[in-house]
Amino acid sequence: DAGVIQSPRHEVTEMGQEVTLRCKPISGHNSLFWYRQTMMRGLELLIYFNNNVPIDDSGMPEDRFSAKMPNASFSTLKIQPSEPRDSAVYFCASSILAGGDEQYFGPGTRLTVT
């Protein structure tokens, strides 16, 4: 079975550019989560969706960050404009239960903003 799929795996961009990260959750999972991982702050939850509806976006750092889930099999996390401090690994995770506990992570996107 395919796990959570993320693309791209690596992204290098210049400050000020728009960045779009993509995620395909595990088929049949109802909840989708976006995380950011850095050495300093560890794993931080940015936003999560239940049945394609954003439930909690309190972790989104600022207005430059936005996330959408147009359907059950696709979500995007967009940063516009990007800044060097956004450099991190961004993970998408999904779970079968609405707001579920057992979250399954994708391989991540390593973002570098120069």
Partner 1 sequence: GQQLNQSPQSMFIQEGEDVSMNCTSSSIFNTWLWYKQDPGEGPVLLIALYKAGELTSNGRLTAQFGITRKDSFLNISASIPSDVGIYFCAGQAGTSYGKLTFGQGTILTVHP
Q: Which residues bind partner 1 (CB under 8 A)?
A: 4, 31, 33, 42-43, 45, 48, 50, 55-56, 91, 93, 98-108
Q: How far is the CB of 30 from partner 1 (least distance, A)?
A: 11
Q: How far is the CB of 57 from partner 1 (least distance, A)?
A: 12
Q: How far is the CB of 16 from partner 1 (least distance, A)?
A: 27
**109: region left, alpha or beta (phi > 0 left; psi from -120 to 50 alpha):** beta
Q: How many CB atoms lie within 10 A of CB 1?
A: 5
Closer CB to partner 1, residue 74 or residue 81? Answer: 74
Closer CB to partner 1, residue 50 or residue 81? Answer: 50
* Cis preceding-peptide flag for 8 (omega within 30 of 0): yes
Closer CB to partner 1, residue 17 or residue 27? Answer: 27
Q: Mapping DSSP to helix (H, G, I), strand (E, B) and coil, where does residue 70 land?
A: strand
Phi, psi of 85 (to 5 degrees): -70, -5
52-61 burial, b at 16+ Cβ within 10 Å, e below that, comes to: bebeeeeebe
Closer CB to partner 1, residue 48 or residue 65? Answer: 48
